[in-house]
Amino acid sequence: MQFCDECGSMMKKQDGMMICDSCGHSEEQQGNAEDFTTTTEQTGTELIETEEDANFEGKPTDDSITCDECGNGTAWYTIKQTGAADEPPTRFFKCTECGNRWREYN
């Protein structure tokens, strides 16, 4: 793996150069080609989106969650590590009834 010197994101190989999808920075590949492992891009159900405009709904909750907007007891949720590795992850919720979004920090 090669990480971007500008923003720290993982870079990918494209047309013989290493390109950062986050900031667009490009540079020559460091090291030998044998040192790199190529993986396939994740698609479809392998991805869990947490962005505000994400279409993927995540996983359904049990009845222990209540939406503050409409009082519905079911929401979709996804989990994302938003802090340091030694901190608990953040759960992002979306109400199945009204679409209200909120997050829960453990």
Is 35 catalytic? The answer is no
Is 52 catalytic? The answer is no
Size (the chain), residues: 106
pLDDT tens by residue, the chain, 106 residues: 678 888 888 888 888 788 888 888 888 877 666 665 666 666 655 555 555 555 545 677 766 788 899 998 888 888 888 778 888 888 888 888 898 888 887 7
Question: Catalytic pick from 69, 87, 97, 104?
Answer: 87
Structural domains of the chain ordered from first start: 1-39 (no CATH), 44-105 (2.20.25.10)
Residue pair 65/74 in contact (Cβ under 8 Å)? The answer is: yes
- 71 vs 19: CA distance, rounded Å: 46
